[in-house]
Structure 1
Amino acid sequence: MSLTSSPSPPSTSPSCRASVAAALRAAGCVFADDEAELILSAARTPDEAAAMTARRGAGLPLELVIGWAEFRGLRITVEPGVFVPRRRTEFLVEQALALAPDASVVVDLCCGSGAVGAALAAALGPVELHAADIDPVAVECARRNIAGHGGRVHRGDLYEALPGELRGRVGILAANVPYVPTAEVGLLPAEAREHEPLTALDGGADGLDVLRRVASDAAAWLAPGGCLLTETGERQAPAVLDAFARAGLTPRLAVSEELYAHVVSGRKGAGG
């Protein structure tokens, strides 16, 4: 992952922090004090701090204001037009590491910022890491985040983006696909629906259009014993388990009550 040193903040005085926090609180930010600290740490000048505070107050996600999101202890670069990694998706990474702790080939499909791939590579050590997304903005962002792990990023529609030599070799295939039903996209928080790409949110009529495509071809790309993992909604989990089983994978559901996260994994048989 590409990390840059944080510049010296324009001011860390209590009065400056209080002023920024008050502006954020007035705009409805629940964690105004914490957000004020992050904005002041990221800003290089007082004018930039004021501009960042104004953008946050206008509803821009904090991560896009400061230019990064924390994910499993990593600082992941994000920029406008890219899906912001969620803390609950850390559970997907944890499940992948538990199921395939010795994986040597990792693919982050529908990678967005590349946060999942970067986190897996950071935990596993030297791996052959590939990430792919159909969105050019996401591809460029992911390239910056996984460069430090020697990862390669490809642009294209799902498996069409991947090098053919990966077929039958992938130990961990992480696919954090869009899974919000089309009719429910309008119910998402404004930060998501107004500032993140629709292609990263809308999963079709029942939210599973992209997931079914990923599952149907996964076995051809997985190594014997390799795993496909995806995040899904609680109501959708039974249908996802069925899709994985139909694709010839052994499905399993894991749930984190703390993060309200539901991850379905599917393992390819050791005999291929």
Structure 2
Amino acid sequence: MPPLSPSPSFPSSPSTRDSVVAALRAAGCVFAEDEAELILDAARTPEELAALVDRRAAGVPLEVVVGWAEFRGLRITVEPGVFVPRRRTEFLVEQALAQVPDASVVVDLCCGSGAVGAALARALGPVELHAADLDPAAVRCARRNIDGHVHQGDLFDALPDDLRGRIDILAANVPYVPTDQVDLLPAEARDHEPLSALDGGPDGLDTLRRVAAEAPQWLAPGGCVLVETSERQAPTALDAFATGGLRTRLAVSEELYANVVMGVRGLDQ
């Protein structure tokens, strides 16, 4: 996965930039100036620029409009209908690297675009990297972002059986929005991202519990599983991993509003 770099675009004048900013601001884009620069960089012709501005003004996520998202210095391809990687998830990557800095087998479960797997592989160097998602669109997108094995299927059912007991880092960015709160999400997520990547069931933790129940048999000794939750959900998530016999830890980033729950398999297990 290449590092972030500019795309070729057509020369634009200050008046063009001003008109793009004005259109985005009128559509309610809070960071209209910053978004205008990205859209101008993505457009190769005046006609394409107009189409991109219209899509953004209609509420399509900026990352889908320009076709990529920045994630830990990488340019991650983002396709329509695929979960957009959040900057707060960079904290999950940091926690994984701190826990197992010499990991050689990495799995990005519920991978979406594959941003987490791509970032881990770039930081670790040569690794055996696997990613999996239930959504065919996510699998197609992840295959563009990951230099590794991308599988389609339901959680662990998608993984090769020979990974059992060998995974050093299992990053599972599971859905964790309670069902009755999905309608409260910003329209960009609610209307343009797959429901399966957002809705985590009645309390938001249905998928997390499934991961916690199976993760211990897939982790290598000393391996860890990491998930994001909300602050309110964290105690229940910690209990789920502890029930499976894993050592648990909660890491919090106030700057990124991120809560990462980690379960670690003991070296003697």
Q: Could you state the TM-score of these two structures normalised by the residue count of structure 1?
A: 0.97
In 2, Cα distance between the equivalents of 1:5 and 1:217? 39
2:146 alignment partner, SS class: helix
Aligned equivalent of 1:83: 83
Q: Are residue 204 (structure 1) and residue 215 (structure 2) matched?
A: no
Q: Are residue 96 (structure 1) and residue 93 (structure 2) matched?
A: no
Aligned equivalent of 2:67: 67
Q: Are residue 254 (structure 1) and residue 251 (structure 2) matched?
A: yes
Does structure 2 conserve the Cα–Cα contact (< 8 Å) formed by 1:2 and 1:146? no
Aligned equivalent of 1:153: 150
C-alpha RMSD of the superposition: 1.2
Using the TM superposition, give the Cα deviation of residue 13 of structure 1 relative to its aligned residue in structure 2, in angstroms: 1.8
Q: Could you state the TM-score of these two structures normalised by the residue count of structure 2?
A: 0.98
Cα offsets for 1:241-266 (capped at 9, x unmatched): 00000011001000000000000001
Instruction: Give the gaps of 5 or more residues in structure 2.
Output: none
Cα offsets for 1:210-231 (capped at 9, x unmatched): 0000000101000000000000
Does structure 2 conserve the Cα–Cα contact (< 8 Å) formed by 1:7 and 1:44? no
Aligned equivalent of 2:44: 44
1:255 alignment partner, SS class: strand
Does structure 2 conserve the Cα–Cα contact (< 8 Å) formed by 1:178 and 1:210? yes
Aligned equivalent of 1:224: 221
In 1, Cα distance between the equivalents of 2:4 and 2:235? 42
1:24 alignment partner, SS class: helix
Letter in 1 for 2:267: A
Q: Mean alpha-carbon deviation: is it higher for 83-92 or for 12-21? A: 12-21
Using the TM superposition, give the Cα deviation of residue 132 of structure 1 relative to its aligned residue in structure 2, in angstroms: 0.2
Letter in 2 for 1:19: S
In 2, Cα distance between the equivalents of 1:28 and 1:261? 26
In 2, Cα distance between the equivalents of 1:95 and 1:3? 21
In the TM superposition, 1:186-201 aligns within 5 A as 186-201=183-198
Does structure 1 conserve the Cα–Cα contact (< 8 Å) formed by 2:111 and 2:132? yes
Does structure 1 conserve the Cα–Cα contact (< 8 Å) formed by 2:220 and 2:265? yes
Using the TM superposition, give the Cα deviation of residue 7 of structure 1 relative to its aligned residue in structure 2, in angstroms: 4.4
Using the TM superposition, give the Cα deviation of residue 12 of structure 1 relative to its aligned residue in structure 2, in angstroms: 2.9
In 2, Cα distance between the equivalents of 1:189 and 1:61? 10
In 1, Cα distance between the equivalents of 2:131 and 2:55? 31
Using the TM superposition, give the Cα deviation of residue 8 of structure 1 relative to its aligned residue in structure 2, in angstroms: 2.8
Letter in 1 for 2:231: E
Letter in 1 for 2:105: V
Q: Cα 1:7–1:224, aligned 2, differ >3 Å: closer, same or farther?
A: closer
In 2, Cα distance between the equivalents of 1:197 and 1:2? 26
Letter in 2 for 1:251: T
In 1, Cα distance between the equivalents of 2:199 and 2:102? 33
Structure 1 consecutive aligned stretches of length 4 or more whose deviation exceeds 4 Å: 2-7
In 1, Cα distance between the equivalents of 2:152 and 2:227? 20
1:76 alignment partner, SS class: strand
Letter in 2 for 1:106: V
1:39 alignment partner, SS class: helix
Instruction: Give the gaps of 5 or more residues in structure 1.
Output: none
In 2, Cα distance between the equivalents of 1:7 and 1:35? 15
In the TM superposition, 1:112-151 aligns within 5 A as 112-147=112-147, 151=148
In 1, Cα distance between the equivalents of 2:150 and 2:3? 18
Cα offsets for 1:106-144 (capped at 9, x unmatched): 000000000000000000010000000000000010011
User: How many equivalent pairs are there?
Assistant: 269
In 2, Cα distance between the equivalents of 1:4 and 1:44? 18
